[in-house]
Amino acid sequence: MPTPAPSTTSSSVTPPHQEMPCLPVATLGFPQLGDERQLKHLLEKFWSGQCTEEELIHGSQKVEEDGWALQAATGIDAIGVGDFALYDWVLNWIEYLGCIPPRFLQHAHANNLTVLERHFLLARGGDGGRSGGEGQHLASEDPPMVGLEIRKWFDTNTHFLVPELDERITPHAHFDSLLDSLRRAKSHLGVHRAVPMLLGPITFVWLGHLRPGETRPQERFDNWLAALVPVYCSLLDSIAEMGFPEVQFHEPALITEHGHTFLLPYFKETYQTLLHHAARTGDQQKERSRFPAMGIDLVTYFDEMHEAVYRAAIAMPFSALSLDFTHHGGLTGGYTALMENFGFPPHMRLGLGVLDGRSVWKPDPSLVLPDMVVLRQAVHHIRLQTSCSLSFLPWTVRSETQLKTAYPLVFPLLSFATEKLADLLSLAEAATGEDAKVLEEWKWTRLQRDTSYDPPHSRSSRGAIAARERSRNLVPTDFKRSLPYEDRQQQQVSHKRGSILPTTIVGSLSGAEQRGRVTDTGEEGIKAEIERVVRVQEAGGLDILIHGAFDRADMIEDLAGQLEGMTTTEHGWVRVSGSRCVRPPVIVDVIWRPQPLTVEGFKYSQSLTNRVMKGQLPGPTTMLHWSFPAADRPYKEQTLELALCIRDEVRDLEIAGAKVIEVDEMGFREGLPLRGQKRSDCLAFVVEAYQLATSIAGPHIEIHTHVACTEVEDCISALLAFDADVYTFENTRAQDRARLALQRAGFSRRLGLGCFDVHCPIIPSISDMTARLRAQMEAFPPDQLVVVPDGPLRSRPFRHIQDALTNMCAAAKELREAWEKNQQAKMPTLTESLRNRSASVESANRNGERGHKEENLARKREAWAQSPG
């Protein structure tokens, strides 16, 4: 029987004030790729010498302005501007504040680089050559310039470049490109609709590793803020002169575990100065009506403020406080309690971040509207806005025709960045009291989905039911390897090999576009490409090979396309950094594996060589966080389902003959709460999920995992609890931070520290990698080390990969031969061995500890020594 059509005249919520005015709405950023990835294509053309600087700048400005125009046409009242970046927003601020490390300035000057070329030198490294020089070999044996360290932007998969807060740097204003962007925004939007967004000084310094645990953190933090605040004040003057009435300072560092302790006094002192200057700026203008005092909107996101930070913020004269209400119970969570206990200033506007800027699902108005109506009675000035920037979402869902066909009842629930704009307006309208239509439409959509979902995508299907039952009936032995590491390592490939410094690769060799070009030739073309990759690795000297993933797109995307309960998109691109972008899958239902995912590809590639071929899989937490999770089920439930899928694949790879299986958990820190006990609890669950995924492997199976773009200092114990056999780390750009942290911790598992930067367009030299490996051999026993690049090579052209791997293997071979020769030279003679052994036995005798074995050995040795010849 068909479900009746929705009524638009009734509602379960009766708003108390029908006459409430419509709330203004605002955004905190928008996707920067463009609706057809125009920015990505422009960047790659520039780097390959196919377009000029003028074409890149003009094209990127067009993408930026298209985003503004779309938001304005939709009806957004306040549009965040000034965050557009060719590569990374933090990199922009490194240049704006004159904080470029001296080595980059010297290189740029020596090679007569333009400002734009220097910008990409900071981002990508190189030898100081111009754009279009990708894949060059160095003219000398000097190491190439290594770009700035890469880290993840708080708990997201977006990357940023870490400021190097060198004490030789004197900050100074260099805001030309930012002010140009603001002038264009003023022209397109006007000063009352365009809102300048600035990266706050507290967060900027905090991102530069100046925090507890570093050398002299307080003294250095004091010095840097003292130097930076005058530069920010000069920027406020320039913005005020343009006529902007308000500016945003983005300070997400305030919601971290250091926000209410280490950072709190700096926050108070810094913003007392900035707020005073912003208010005084207006008084200094000759025409007060034209240039009024400028307000400051303090913006935080990704979690809630600690009570101490909140109380400090409402005690200062900010014009607005923009808060993320999508955590810890939303509108009924921590912020509501803080407002009830400590109030909210009547002069201050509340930026109500109720629309999740990182979720692809439409908001459930029944969970939001009742509390919004109540909150409006308590707070005088409210602006409805996204919880954070919409740059974490694809551009629009409208182009997803295949998804609409495959999931017609799920599709109406999806909302990408463009659709979020309409969601904002819809919630703002409903919050006036006209919420009946919004609520009924939502109920109708969900009812259709929940009652009409057909197999095989239904939660009532046999496979889904089995998956849910299995995840609910796990036992402790499901999380534990059959033997401890000390016992099983004797059975594994790296130990049996018998020589030091085995070489391998992490991740894949092909990105989605390279894979697309290969698959145009069909299955035979894919097989030919895999064989070519295998032969190149053999010729280069790699010991443990990969099959290149030319039969896959992005690993997460490809596996998601084979699992029930997940779906992929055609155009759902999200920018990670620079030109690197991914299409995160969407979790739509219970996740289960109908058949093996990678086994056939592994078996074919292994059939091509006698060397060890790695199986390759993502870890369960990474797979969850690099997808868009379902909004109506707990994340833990979805993670366990993914872990069981990976567990079954590990088992099938072992049956197929795999001796080494890489299960990468590169995204294990993403999605973790940024402070408190909940963070520790979630990290413990990440460990459990990884153990569940890999514990099925026999003791002879060598499990590898790769850690990248993250700080390892505070998570080494969690990584060890993964109970993997080989850990590989990104290290080159981080100035050996990973190596030093692991060395201090006495890390005892086999490990690989990246020996060349996979993001650098220059082919690494043998001598540079030899120097890096030699430093590793001084820090760890050589038989503990594995030789790897810094990360996956999928973003590099294949011709560059071949040369880089050949040099890497040559460097490892050189050191291996030198070490073995040195060991032979140190090998004791027979007489020395006997003398040492006799001394050991005599020592045991003196201590009364000699057993039957030692007695027998000593007796045999004496007889041997007395025998003739």
Which residue numbers are catalytic?
Answer: 759
In the numeric block, which tokens belong to residue 859? 């007796």
Partners of residue 150 on adjacent β-strands: 161
Please say whether the beta carbons of 298 and 322 come within 8 A. yes
Position 214, amino acid:
E
Question: 410: exposed, middle or buried (C-beta count within 10 Å: 0-12, 13-18, 19+)?
Answer: buried
Q: Which residues pair with 249 in a beta bridge?
A: 198, 298
Pick from 779, 795, 703, 767: nearest CA to 737:
779
Helices (H) and strands (E) in the chain, counts: 31, 20
Residue 545 contacts residue 611 (beta carbons within 8 Å): yes
Q: Give the side-chain half-sphere CA count within 13 A for 466.
A: 9
Angle between helices 53-74 and 417-430 (to 10 degrees): 30
Of 30, 89, 153, residue with least CA distance to 674 = 153
Q: Could you tell me the two tokens for 728? A: 């590989």
Look at residues 104, 239, 122, 118 and name the one whose alpha carbon lies nearest to residue 178: 239
DSSP string computed for 106-148 = HHHHHTT--HHHHHHHHHH-BSSPPTT-TTPBPSSSSPPBP--
Q: Which residues pair with 763 in a beta bridge?
A: 137
Tell me whether residue 2 is exposed, middle or buried, using C-beta atoms within 10 angstroms of its C-beta: 0 to 12, 13 to 18, 19 or more.
exposed
- Cα atoms in the 13 Å half-sphere on the side-chain side of 683: 18
Query: Element (H or E) spanning 663, and its range?
Result: strand 660-664
Structure tokens at 842: 């005599």
Q: Are 650 and 696 in contact (CB under 8 A)?
A: yes
The DSSP call for residue 788 is: -
822 CB neighbour count, 10 Å cutoff: 10
Angle at CA 377, nearest 5°, toward 375 and 379?
Answer: 65
**Angstrom distance (rounded) from CA 847 to CA 840:** 11
